[in-house]
Amino acid sequence: MIPCTKCGACCVAPDIAALDKPLGLVCPHLGPDALCTQYDNRPQVCRDYAPDELCLKIEAATLEQRVANYLALFGLTAEAEVVKRAKLLSMKRARS
């Protein structure tokens, strides 16, 4: 069993449908310390997650690099960039 390193990558890189969180965007419940601010009330998908070899493969000094490593490993870098641009455009339109 691989212990959780509390790196936060699993709260950013994958999409989490139960939280309506898109691919590559930070979960709104992830705190600045890379820990879940809603840990006791987190959805089942988060409760069921268990650290594995993937966590070792994406290790890096920063959360940004860990997320980039995760997305690259699964070939999702371009898709995540599209999601990010769409989110930014949506936010810009909402402010107009």
Question: What is residue 92's predicted lDDT score, i.e. its pLDDT?
Answer: 74
Please tell me the pTM assigned to this model: 0.85
Residue 91 predicted with pLDDT over 90: no
Alpha-carbon gap, residue 95 to 3, rounded angstroms: 42
Burial environment of residue 89 by CB neighbours within 10 A (0 to 12, 13 to 18, 19 or more): exposed
User: What per-residue string of b and e applies to 18-54 under the rule 16 or more CB within 10 Å gives b?
Assistant: ebebbbbbebebbeeeeebeeeeebeeebeeeeeeee
pLDDT in tens, 6-50: 999 999 999 999 999 999 999 999 999 999 999 999 999 999 999
Alpha-carbon gap, residue 9 to 55, rounded angstroms: 8
Alpha-carbon gap, residue 94 to 44, rounded angstroms: 32
**Percentage of the chain modeled with pLDDT above 70:** 100
Domain boundaries, the chain: 9-95
Q: What is the mean pLDDT of residues 70-74?
A: 96
Q: First-to-last CA distance in the chain?
A: 50
Question: What is residue 94's predicted lDDT score, i.e. its pLDDT?
Answer: 77
